[in-house]
Amino acid sequence: MRQTLDILRPAQLLAFIQLGRPHFLAGGFLFYALGAAIARFQGASLDWRAYIWGQVAVTATQWMVHYANDYFDLDADRANHTPTRWSGGSRILPDGRLPPYVALAAAYLLAVLALSAVAVVGLAVRPGPLAVPLLLMAWAAAWFYSAPPIRLTATGLGELTTALVVPILTPLASYYIQRGRLTWLPLLATLPLAYLQFAMLLAIEFPDAVGDAQTGKRTLVVRLGPAQAARLVQLALGLVYVALPVGVWYGLPWQVAVSASLASPLALWQALRIRRGGGSNPARWNSLALRAIALLMVTTALETAAFVALIATAQR
């Protein structure tokens, strides 16, 4: 009882909020909005009840991951002596500001909230037979990203899984919840974002590599080494600007591709910094991660804005 009361103190409540890293939730809102915008562009009427319950499921799932990662990655975070603002976890548990069970309890509560929202989508909103499987697939991949027995982040599959779940599956679920069927357009729009997400994850993993290797967390940066991982980041960034014109060829509106390309100078800057050894230079780790995050968020926002502009133009 006393432990519970201690956690309710202002300092502990602040630590609890910081443990969940709520500022990273913005991406989930942005990806989800992109899927709905694509559905609206293709003629779907926006169902706000469906939108809100789907967003609750997505946000609760994402927030669950934040708490679960800090709990299951505690050994790796303790061994990490080079954390940055963007990597190495929230540092709340390694610094002893909260006991680990708090993170696990929060992850469980958010897992239940996410599954409850999925149930509402399936039973009350009823957008179509694939809505629940899409949301459950995202939930399962998110939980087992760091949780045993699968622990994707330690197998070298975590980066690929996250690149598929976050920028592709989230908009796809939002799109389907609004439209009730699938087309190729959301995949064409989100494939470039998946490459950016993949490149971002590798950029964030550079500072964690030593601590991860010591605790058996075999991320791609640990498996490949910084030099090979840096080449993979450059390849992923290059594929973004191959996927956009290919997407136009198969039906992606050219306005969307052009809008997304406006962020290409930032991508080029990032690729050059990586090529010049940024992944092995601790002085550049913070800026590399920041640019990687900004590139993904800005490109997603540009795509979403382009679809919204096309919708507005069609309604005139």
Instruction: Give the CATH number, domain containing residue 65.
Output: 1.10.600
Q: For the chain, state the CA radius of gyration.
A: 20
SS3 track for 24-67: HHHHHHHHHHHHHHHHHHCCCCCCHHHHHHHHHHHHHHHHHHHH
Number of domains, the chain: 1
Whole-number Å distance between alpha carbons of 243 and 189: 9
Q: What is the pTM of this model?
A: 0.94
Whole-number Å distance between alpha carbons of 204 and 212: 12
Max CA separation in the chain (angstroms): 63
- At residue 249, φ and ψ (nearest 5 deg) are -60, -35
Place of tokens 């100078």: 265
Range of the domain at 209: 2-315
Helix axes 264-275, 185-205, angle to 10 degrees: 30
DSSP string, 281-300: -GGGHHHHHHHHHHHHHHHH
pLDDT one digit per residue (tens) for the chain, 316 residues = 445 445 557 788 999 999 999 989 999 999 999 999 999 999 999 999 999 999 999 999 999 999 999 999 999 999 988 888 888 889 999 999 999 999 999 999 999 999 999 999 998 888 889 999 999 999 999 999 999 999 998 888 999 999 999 999 999 999 999 999 999 999 999 999 999 999 999 999 999 888 889 888 899 999 999 999 999 999 999 999 999 999 999 999 999 999 999 999 999 999 999 999 888 888 888 999 999 999 999 999 999 999 999 999 988 7
Closest CA relative to residue 105, chosen from 70, 139, 57, 141: 70
